[in-house]
Amino acid sequence: MKSKSNKIFIRKIFSEWYQKNYSKLILPPEFEKREFGFFTFKEGVVIRHKRFTNLKELLDFIKENTPSDIYYSAAYYENPEAEMEYKGWLGADLVFDIDADHVESPCDRKHDFWICKNCKRQGFGSHPRECPDCGESKFEEISWMCKVCLESAKDEAIKLVDVLVGDFSFSQEEIKVFFSGHRGYHLHIESKAVRELKQDERKEIVDYLMAVGLNPKFHGVNFQNIPSVGEAGWRGRMAMGAYQFLLEASESELKAIGIKGRTLKKIIDEKDAILEALSSGRKLIPKGIGLKTLIKIYSAGAKKQSIKIDPVVTVDIHRLIRLGGSLHGKTGLMKIEVPTESIESFNPFKNALAFKNGEIKVKTLYDLPELIFSDEIYGPFKANKITEVPTQVAVFFS
């Protein structure tokens, strides 16, 4: 969506910001052993395999090149400047990426939109196979941001912290949580205890968190051993998820997990009694509801409680991750650290704003949904209309 003039404007704004706010950058431990990478404002130009031995070197590079995005490797290397096969891998942090794109949210169809690259027709939700106007099949997809989808991503981050502390025995001090600057959160564990984990070991962690292959039978689910809310590990989470699922489930959602006929009616009629059983763990399941049905409900609960992380990011032992305190090239928001005890109250539309002063006239190229920054509503905006907005909003649109 960025035109040439927009890129020039954003590059200037970014350059001025880094000149004044370089102290906000959060360097990872042993950063001299990390590879740094940069996206630039030049089309297709990416700078990789950079190494910095002190903060001044990094700042001088940023001032000279004004990147749109700054990344560093989760990995530690003997020689970060070498090509991949010659770097000498020494280990890697354990990194998790939670993005609103991976979390079901009721707002996606209201604000995510597509644009036909040929005729510029717009539409909300997922793009069609062919453009209704011109019949072409090439589209640009725009993922918007709102409080609802970012709250959904935040909920996943909170769940992840709980599991990392409760099931993996990491301390809250070992877990660093960041708002990514766009549509989600990053969690970093930089402890030496995780550095030497190989890809298959990281995959095991991912599978556990995402409940891949989880079968309630193997967690002892039967009428004499009903998991209840409050139990440790996946038994307790299955019970919590099953409780939430059953409490909110419509008839169609129950049918979708394979419950039908008399059993379906029984569950609807006896919902309160089943919820009491899930809550207490006592043998209170009404007659007429078999073990297979119970397992379907617990399976739905496990799916509800599974943590929606991007598995590729965690498994990749050479992954580049956005630098803390830097600007996101798509939004102009900061990747900002969020103390674990303050996640619930964190508001990216207030706390991650980089540009807090000034107003700029912008001309939006397309119809755009509304945007809320610092409790102020801007938009929705009509295509080709000139509007004066705060600098942060202008950067976001550009």
Active-site annotation holds for 310: yes
- Which contacts qualify for 371-376: CB closer than 8 Å, 24 or more apart? 371/145, 371/396, 372/146, 372/147, 373/349, 374/349, 374/350, 375/349, 375/350
165, part of any domain = no
Q: Are residues 184 and 71 both part of a single domain?
A: yes
CA distances from 280 to 68, 226, 245, 384 (A): 53, 9, 16, 59
Predicted local distance difference test score (pLDDT) of residue 282: 64
Based on the residue annotation, tell me whether 162 is a catalytic residue of this protein.
no
Q: Which residues contact 220 (CB under 8 A, 6 or more apart)?
A: 227, 235
269 near 304, Cβ under 8 Å? no
Please indicate, yes or no, if residue 385 is contained in any of the structural domains: yes
Reference 49, options 71, 91, 80; nearest CA is: 80
93 three-state secondary structure: coil
Note the pLDDT of residue 2. 55
End of a domain among 88, 119, 142?
Answer: 142
Diameter of the chain measured on Cα atoms: 73
* Number of folded domains that form the chain: 4
In a domain, 159, yes or no: no
Tokens (6 digits) for 310 = 């991007």
Res 203: pLDDT: 98
In a domain, 149, yes or no: no
Verify that 257 and 316 share a domain, yes or no: no
3-state secondary structure at position 11: helix
Whether the pTM exceeds 0.85: the reply is yes
- Selected catalytic residue, list 69, 93, 99, 108: 99
Q: Is 60 a catalytic residue?
A: no
Return the pLDDT at 276: 85
Catalytic residue among 101, 155, 310, 367: 310
Q: What is the pLDDT of residue 91?
A: 98
Domain identity same for 267 and 396:
no
Pair (250, 373) in one structural domain = no
- CATH number of residue 90's parent domain: 3.90.920.10
Residues 228 and 294 in one domain: yes
DSSP, collapsed to helix, strand or coil, labels residue 394 as: helix
Q: Are residues 192 and 245 in the same domain?
A: no
Residue 87, classified by CB atoms within 10 Å of its CB into exposed (0-12), middle (13-18) or buried (19+), is buried
124 and 42 in a common domain = no
pLDDT for 108? 62
Residues 81, 201 within the same domain: yes
- Element containing residue 206 per DSSP (H, E): helix 199-209
Rg (CA), the chain: 24
Indicate whether 249 and 396 sit together in one domain. no
- Could you read off the pLDDT of 106-162 as tens digits, one per residue? 676 678 889 999 999 998 888 999 999 999 999 998 888 888 999 999 999 999 999
Same domain, 89 and 182: yes
In a domain, 367, yes or no: yes
User: Rounded to whole angstroms, how far apart are CA atoms 232 and 228?
Assistant: 9
Strands 184-189 vs 46-50: parallel, antiparallel or unpaired: unpaired
Q: What does the pLDDT read at residue 19?
A: 93
In a domain, 155, yes or no: no
**Residue ranges of the chain with per-residue pLDDT less than 50:** 1
How high is the pLDDT of residue 145?
A: 86
**In the prediction, which pLDDT does 324 show?**
97
Q: Are residues 138 and 244 in the same domain?
A: no
Preceding peptide of 380 cis, ω within 30°: yes
Domain range for 367: 360-398
Q: SS3 letters for 29-79?
A: CCHHHCCEEEECCCCCCEEEEECCCCHHHHHHHHHHHCCCEEEEECEEECC
Instruction: Indicate whether 102 belongs to any domain.
Output: no
Q: Are residues 317 and 342 in the same domain?
A: yes
- Predicted pLDDT of residue 311: 97
pLDDT of residue 142: 85
CB burial of 293-315 (b: ≥16 within 10 Å; e: otherwise) equals bbebbbbbbbbbbbbbbbbebbb
The DSSP string of 240-301 is HHHHHHHHH--HHHHHHTT--HHHHHHHHHTHHHHHHHHHH-SS-PPTT--HHHHHHHHHHH
- Identify whether 103 is part of a domain: no
Q: Choose the catalytic residue: 93, 97, 108, 112.
A: 97
